[in-house]
């Protein structure tokens, strides 16, 4: 059985293909399907989507508020970072904006989500 992410990927793929159907030969079909509930299974959230959005918002707000800090300035302006700059950015991400584990978990979720799409 497909999960939510797989169904969304199929929906987007079909949406991109629909434009190639010939409009003259298309028939209009009306449907009236009734869904049947076969089983009910409750589980936790999928990929903590809200957590990712709030974390991203928190990071963006922090970067905007501290844009004059030297490490953030270099990062935003594509300047070469020193070892001290990297340590400063790690300190920000892993201590001020969350924990190292949280940051790495969020990164893994982002990578997994992109791989599935």
Give yes or no for a contact between 59 and 113, defined as CB atoms under 8 angstroms apart. no
Residue 63: C-alpha distances to residues 50, 66, 104, 105 (Å)? 20, 5, 19, 20
At 113 the pLDDT is: 47
Per-residue tens of pLDDT for the chain, all 117 residues: 777 788 888 888 888 888 787 777 777 788 888 888 888 888 776 655 555 567 778 878 888 888 888 988 998 888 898 999 889 888 888 788 777 676 666 555 554 544 444
| 58/66 Cα distance (integer angstroms) | 12
Q: Helices 49-65 and 100-116 sit at what angle, rounded to 10 degrees?
A: 120
pLDDT at 84: 93
Q: Which pLDDT value is given to residue 19? A: 79
**Scanning the structure block, which residue is given the tokens 């990071």?**
59
């Amino acid at each position: 059985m497909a999960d939510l992410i797989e169904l969304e990927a199929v929906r987007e793929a079909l949406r991109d293909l629909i434009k190639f159907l010939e409009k003259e030969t298309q028939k209009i079909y009306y449907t009236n399907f009734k869904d049947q509930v076969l089983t009910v299974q409750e589980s936790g959230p999928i990929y903590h989507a809200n957590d990712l959005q709030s974390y991203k918002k928190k990071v963006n707000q922090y970067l905007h508020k501290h844009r004059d800090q030297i490490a953030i300035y270099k990062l935003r302006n594509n300047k070469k970072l020193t070892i001290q700059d990297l340590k400063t950015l790690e300190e920000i991400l892993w201590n001020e904006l969350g924990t190292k584990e949280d940051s790495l978990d969020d990164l893994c979720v982002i990578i997994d989500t992109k791989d599935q799409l």
